[in-house]
Amino acid sequence: MNHADTPARYDARTILLHWTTAGLVVALWALGQTIDWFPKGTLRIGARGTHILLGVVLAAVLVARIRWRLSGGARLPSAEPAWLGRAAKLGHGLLYLLLVAAVLLGVANVWVRGDNIFNLFTVPAFDPGNKALRHQVGDLHEWAANLLGGLALLHAAAALFHHQVLKDGVLLRMRRLRGAG
């Protein structure tokens, strides 16, 4: 492949969707890990409501990302050797799969357990007496979120490896656009 023909960076929409997703995943994971630290009552209801609201935003961003990718947007040629390119493609596929799983399991978690969203409205529980189902869905959501967080850390580590060790410009392709060119 001729690296001179490789675009220097992704387009603005791809960069925005990438970093918005990354920020939401970090915020959701951190909030999910700390919700139980909030005292019961208004603060915990607010934390749970924030987690659910950010999850809905992540779902919308994920739909936008998938639509953007399926419409042919934002694919740069691989700037790495063939085996690294295949590993990157597999990693990105797993990231998308875990994003979808975590979001869908989050929706299921709210539906199964029921929830109070900012004391503004209540999502009724699907089966209020079925604690086993509630725990199972909650555990699956947590499992998917933790796997996503771990894979996202590996993704970030790979980007830093490209930047610091390989010095191949891969990380710079996802930098924020500044001015023209």
- Going residue by residue through the chain, which has 181 residues, state the pLDDT in tens, using 9 for 90 and above: 344 444 567 788 888 999 999 999 999 999 999 999 999 999 999 999 999 999 999 999 999 999 998 887 755 555 566 777 788 889 989 999 999 999 999 999 999 999 999 989 999 999 989 999 999 999 999 999 999 999 999 999 988 888 888 877 777 777 764 543 4
pLDDT reported for residue 162:
81
pLDDT reported for residue 104:
98
pLDDT reported for residue 6:
46
pLDDT reported for residue 15:
87
The answer to whether the CB of 80 falls within 8 A of the CB of 170 is yes
pLDDT reported for residue 1:
38
Of 155, 118, 135, which is closest to residue 25 (Cα–Cα)? 155
pTM of the entire predicted model: 0.85
Of 152, 141, 173, which is closest to residue 11 (Cα–Cα)? 173
Q: For the chain, which domains are there?
A: 8-174 (1.20.950.20)
Q: Where would I find the H helices in 10-128?
A: 12-34, 42-70, 82-113
pLDDT reported for residue 74:
59
The answer to whether the CB of 158 falls within 8 A of the CB of 88 is yes
pLDDT reported for residue 5:
44
